[in-house]
Chain A
Amino acid sequence: MLIKIVLNIKPLIAYLYTFDAEEVADEFRLIAETYYKRKNYACARNIFHYLLTNVRDCLVQLDIWLKYGNCCNYLDEVDDAINAYRNAVNLDSSNCEAALHLVNMLKKNSQLFDEAATVIDKTLSQKDTACLNTEILNLKINQCFIQYEKNEYESYVRNARQLLFNNLMFVLEPENVNGTL
C-alpha cells in the first residue's frame, strides 16, 4: 500500500523505497549525508531514522547514531537525541565525541546528572590523561560542572585545581568554557 502511494507521488528517492533497505543502504546514506552537510536536518533525520530502523549494519555504526542524534538535537527532539547519543556511547564508551554530546544533553536536566557523571568517568577512565585533546578537556570541565552542581565540593576542588594547573591556557579561553557550560 505504502509503496503504491509513494510511487504515485514519484519523488526520485521513492523508487529506492521499493527495494529492500539493506540493498540500497549506501544510496540512502549518501543522500542523508548530503542533507546533513547542507544542514537540512529534518530530511537527514528522516533518512538516518529509516536506515537505523531497517538496516542491521547501521545499528552498529557510531557515526550514524551521532549524526542522527545531532539532527534530533538541532530539531529540539531532546529525548530522541539523548537516546541516539546513548546508543553511540554504548557502541564505544571510549569515544570522547559521543560522550561529550551525550553529557551536553544530559546536563540540561538535573535529574540526569548521575548518568552524565557515570558517562564522563567511564570515558575518562579509558583515556590516557597525558594525551589531552579538546574533547577530553571539555569532558573534564563538564565533570567539574556536574560535581559542583551536585555539591560534591571535595571532588570538584580536586578536579578543578588539576584542570586549572595543567591546562590553564585552555580554561582561560572564554569560548572553551562558555561553549561547554
Chain B
Amino acid sequence: MLEEKKDQRRLILAKLMLLKYVDTNTHLDIYDIYFNQVMAELNNEADISKKIYVLRNDMKKFQSKFAVERLRLLIELLNKQRQFKESISIMMNQCQITIAASQDQSGQQQALVNTPEMFLYLNSLHFDVPVGCNNYIRGLFIVSLINLDYLNEEVRIVFIFKLVEIF
C-alpha cells in the first residue's frame, strides 16, 4: 500500500520494523530480501544512521554468525561517523580481540576487559587480535585505534621500519 502511494519515508520505516521483528529462524528468506532491499535503498549520506541501525540489528540477530562483510560495512560506517570507540568495542566482541594484561601506575598487573573505561587508559593497553581474524577487520581495528591517538602502534611501526632498513 505504501509502495503504491509512493510514501517512501514510511515505507522505509515499515521495512526497518519488519527487519527488527521478523524471526530469522523461520523467515530467513524474507529477512534477507528486505535486508538487501533496504541497504540498496539507503544511498544518501543522510541515511548512514539508518544503515548503521539495520546493521546493528543484523548483528544482534546473528551474533557470532554475523557476516564478515556486514561487520566490515558496519565498522566503515561507524568510522565515517567518527564513532571509533563503538567500532572498537564491536570488533573486540565479534572477533574475540582481547587485551593483554597491562601494568597500572603502581606497577600492579591489571586484568582488563572490553568496557568503556578501557578508553581512559587506551595507550597502556596491548591488544591481541586472533590469528584467524579477517585481515581487513584487523586493518579497520588499527585505523580506529589510530584515530583515538593510540600511540603504541606508531612507536612499533617506526621500530619495524628501522628493522626493515637494517635487513
Contact = CB atoms under 8 A, between A and B. Distances in A.
B131 interface: yes
Contacts, number: 76
A12 interface: yes
Interface of B: 126-127, 129, 131, 135-136, 138-143, 145-147, 152-154, 156-161, 163-164, 167
**Majority SS at the chain B contact face:** helix
A169 interface: no
Contacts of B159: 9, 11
A11 B143 CA distance: 13
A35 to B, nearest CB: 6
A31 B146 contact: yes
A175 B154 CA distance: 35
B159 to A, nearest CB: 7
Given A38-B146, A46-B158, A12 B163 contact: no
Given A5-B163, A30-B139, A15 B146 contact: no
B167 A2 contact: yes
A26 interface: yes
B163 A27 contact: no
Given A11-B157, A11-B160, A27-B135, A34 B127 contact: no
**Majority SS at the chain A contact face:** helix
A15 B139 CA distance: 10
B158 A42 contact: yes
Contacts of B145: 12
Contacts of A2: 163-164, 167
Contacts of A177: none
Max count, chain A CB within 10 A of own CB: residue among B127, B159, B160, B161? B160
B40 to A, nearest CB: 23
Interface stretch (A16-24, A121-129, A144-152): A16-24
B154 A43 contact: yes
A24 B141 CA distance: 15
Contacts of A43: 154, 157-158
Interface string A24-53: 101110110011001010110011001000
